[in-house]
């Protein structure tokens, strides 16, 4: 998955993080927190949070959000956040 973020898309990334967090909590309560699906969802959330942190660091250094690319091994299609 390719994720492209800019200053205009920061809010969408935050919303995606919130949705993934809610999904993880739901799965944890339904299936258990050590279930494979819950763990996979948690790992996806970790990637989103890491991406957000990367942008925050770049934002602190440059004073704005930069366009960056992040590619996951699992998907090769564009995913704009």
**Domains (ranges, CATH) in the chain?**
2-74 (4.10.280.10)
Mean pLDDT for all residues in the chain: 76
DSSP annotation of 34: T
What average pLDDT does range 70-80 have in this prediction?
44
Query: Among 46-50, 60-64, 77-81, which stretch is predicted with the lowest mean pLDDT?
Result: 77-81
What pTM, to 2 d.p., does this model score?
0.65
Q: 59 CB contacts (<8 Å, ≥6 apart)?
A: 65, 66
CB 5 within 8 A of CB 65: yes
Binned at pLDDT 50, 70 and 90, residue 70 comes out as: very low
First CA to last CA distance, the chain: 11
Q: What distances in angstroms separate CA 27 from CA 16, 17, 19, 41, 46, one per listed residue?
A: 16, 15, 12, 8, 16
């Amino acid at each position: 998955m390719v994720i492209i973020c800019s200053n205009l898309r920061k809010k969408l990334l935050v919303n995606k993080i919130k949705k993934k967090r809610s999904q993880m909590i739901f799965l944890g309560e339904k299936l258990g927190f050590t279930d494979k699906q819950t763990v996979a969802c948690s790992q996806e959330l970790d990637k989103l949070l890491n991406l957000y942190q990367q942008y925050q660091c770049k934002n602190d250094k440059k004073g704005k959000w930069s366009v960056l690319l992040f590619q996951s091994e699992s998907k090769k299609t564009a995913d704009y956040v």
